[in-house]
């Protein structure tokens, strides 16, 4: 079959403009504030950076063209998002940070015309932020979404939602939430979930405390969110009733891959810093970069970067074909989450004491990328799913 790994002239131009914008405009802001988006000004700095991104013509590369985006498919997003991720603040500046980027993707595929105007358009244009309220405290939905306990009961003219969520990224300051709630069945059942849209100021919706985590670059924190007799009208159902898990797949696979894109950019920055340093620093009678042990770490990083990109390209190609791509995205996400951690860790080791200091950004990069082995599905859950598919295929082949 023909294989073409080239990008169009327009995408190549966008990659270069994104690279220049992030390095010249965004990186200095990140460095000034140590990668802490709250310390940098939160939504105030977000609005400022996004205005600069619009002026540079690199804003919202993923969003529908009708709402001010550039309309890139998954394959073309990969190198652009990677360049954005070179700064921890780059995704926020381009309006491609989680959870907004994944919510734009899902709303573009599922929302009805009125929902597109009310929710998708302002989100795509950066006029507000959003939250995706899925994860719950134990024994509720976490790595196992079927454990969903938040319930939506049918009432006249709509639904009444009760439940508790936690680790909801971007919740503080979000303009609206996409809420996953059980509309039929019991916790543990594979079906029976529905997605609902609700403005953040709706009576009965309350954002609680910030849960302190390693990372500092995601705006709006990771929060507890409470639904206490929250009423949502029938027109707030996103998609169809009881098909929430099915619709979630529209978001989850692509969102895992865009996480890979962004954090690969961050890991590349760490690698670039380390290689530049050991190429010049002298010790033990030679340049550090000429020593065998240093060269092994550099080579391992180069291999991990190349392998991550290759798995990402394959998964994005499957997604662009309309495939569910469950196996490809699980493989790419699991490998990338661990490879990105190795890249940053090797980069720290190559830089010695400076690597763990605030004189270089490597320590904060390490804090940011470590949660990726948990976010969007722990590595262990993805490995279980990959193995389950392989064993299932073998059984079908044996009894087919």
Confidence of residue 162 (pLDDT cuts 50, 70, 90): very high
Q: Select from 134, 139, 115, 252 the least CA-distant residue to 188.
A: 139
User: Structure tokens of 4?
Assistant: 């073409």
- pLDDT score of 3 more than 90: no
Q: Which CATH class is domain 130-242?
A: mainly beta
Q: Are strands 237-238 and 222-233 parallel, antiparallel or unpaired?
A: unpaired
**Contact by Cβ (8 Å): 78, 316:** yes
Burial of 398 (0-12, 13-18, 19+ CB in 10 A): exposed
Q: Are strands 176-182 and 158-169 parallel, antiparallel or unpaired?
A: unpaired
- pLDDT score of 283 more than 90: no
Query: 9-97 maps to which CATH number?
Result: 1.10.540.10
Structure confidence at residue 190 (pLDDT): 86
Q: Quote the pTM value.
A: 0.96
pLDDT in tens, 105-155: 999 999 999 999 999 999 999 999 999 999 999 999 999 999 999 999 999
Which residues have a Cβ under 8 Å from the Cβ of 113 and sit 6 or more positions away?
Answer: none
First-to-last C-alpha distance (Å) of the chain: 28
Range 269-277 average pLDDT: 98
Structure confidence at residue 4 (pLDDT): 86
Report CA-CA distances (Å) from 128 to 18, 156, 230: 22, 30, 21
Burial of 116 (0-12, 13-18, 19+ CB in 10 A): middle
The reply to whether 9-97 and 246-399 are identical in fold is no
Which residues have a Cβ under 8 Å from the Cβ of 371 and sit 6 or more positions away?
Answer: 213, 214, 215
Kindly report the average pLDDT of the chain as a whole number.
96
Query: 246-399 maps to which CATH number?
Result: 1.20.140.10
CA distance 334 to 308: 10
- pLDDT score of 400 more than 80: no
Domain boundaries, the chain: 9-97, 130-242, 246-399
Query: What is the percent of the chain where pLDDT is above 90?
Result: 96
**Contact by Cβ (8 Å): 235, 274:** no
**Contact by Cβ (8 Å): 217, 239:** no
Phi, psi torsion values for 73, nearest 5 degrees: -80, 180
Confidence of residue 48 (pLDDT cuts 50, 70, 90): very high
- pLDDT score of 229 more than 90: yes
Structure confidence at residue 296 (pLDDT): 98
- pLDDT score of 346 more than 90: yes
- pLDDT score of 352 more than 80: yes
Range 39-68 average pLDDT: 98
- pLDDT score of 37 more than 80: yes
Q: Which residues pair with 251 in a beta bridge?
A: none
Hey, how many other C-beta atoms are within 10 angstroms of the C-beta on 201?
A: 8
Query: What is the percent of the chain where pLDDT is above 70?
Result: 100
pLDDT in tens, 294-335: 999 999 999 999 999 999 999 999 999 999 999 999 999 999
SS (HEC) of 235-300: HHEECCCCCHHHHHHHHHHHHHHHHHHHHHHHHHHHHHHHHHHHHHCEECCEEHHHCHHHHHHHHH
CA distance 125 to 94: 10
Confidence of residue 1 (pLDDT cuts 50, 70, 90): low
């Amino acid at each position: 079959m023909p294989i073409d790994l080239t990008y169009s002239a327009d995408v190549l131009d966008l990659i270069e403009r994104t690279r220049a914008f992030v390095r010249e405009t965004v990186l200095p802001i990140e460095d000034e504030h140590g990668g802490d988006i709250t310390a940098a000004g939160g939504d105030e700095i977000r609005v400022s950076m996004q205005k600069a991104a619009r002026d540079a013509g690199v804003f919202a590369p993923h969003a529908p063209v009708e709402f001010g985006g550039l309309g890139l498919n998954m394959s073309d997003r990969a190198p652009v998002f990677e360049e954005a991720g070179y700064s921890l603040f780059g995704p926020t500046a381009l309006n491609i940070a989680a959870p907004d980027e994944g919510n734009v993707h899902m709303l573009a595929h599922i929302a009805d015309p009125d929902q597109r105007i009310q929710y998708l358009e302002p989100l795509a244009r950066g006029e507000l932020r959003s939250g995706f309220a899925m994860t719950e405290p134990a024994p509720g939905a976490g790595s196992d979404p079927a454990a969903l306990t938040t319930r939506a009961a049918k009432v006249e003219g709509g639904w009444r939602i009760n439940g508790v969520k936690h680790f909801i990224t971007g919740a503080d300051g979000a303009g609206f939430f996409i809420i996953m709630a059980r509309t039929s069945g019991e916790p543990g059942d594979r079906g029976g979930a529905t997605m609902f849209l609700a403005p953040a100021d709706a009576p009965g919706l309350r954002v609680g405390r910030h849960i302190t985590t390693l990372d500092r670059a995601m705006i709006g924190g990771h929060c507890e969110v409470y639904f206490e007799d929250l009423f949502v009208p029938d027109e707030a159902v996103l998609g169809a009733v009881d098909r929430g898990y099915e619709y979630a797949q529209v978001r989850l696979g692509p969102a895992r891959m865009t996480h890979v894109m962004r954090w690969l950019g961050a890991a590349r920055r760490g690698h670039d810093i380390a290689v530049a340093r050991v190429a010049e620093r002298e010790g033990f009678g030679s340049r550090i970069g000429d020593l065998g042990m240093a060269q092994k770490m550099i080579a391992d990083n180069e291999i991990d970067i190349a392998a991550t990109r290759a798995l990402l390209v394959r998964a994005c190609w499957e997604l662009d074909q309309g495939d569910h791509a469950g196996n490809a995205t699980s493989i790419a996400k699991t490998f990338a989450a661990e490879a990105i951690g190795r890249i940053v860790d090797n980069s720290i080791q190559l830089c010695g004491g400076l690597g763990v200091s605030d004189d270089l950004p490597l320590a904060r990069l390490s804090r940011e990328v470590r949660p990726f082995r948990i976010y969007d599905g722990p590595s262990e859950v993805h490995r279980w799913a990959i193995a389950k598919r392989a064993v299932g295929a073998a059984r079908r082949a044996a009894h087919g």
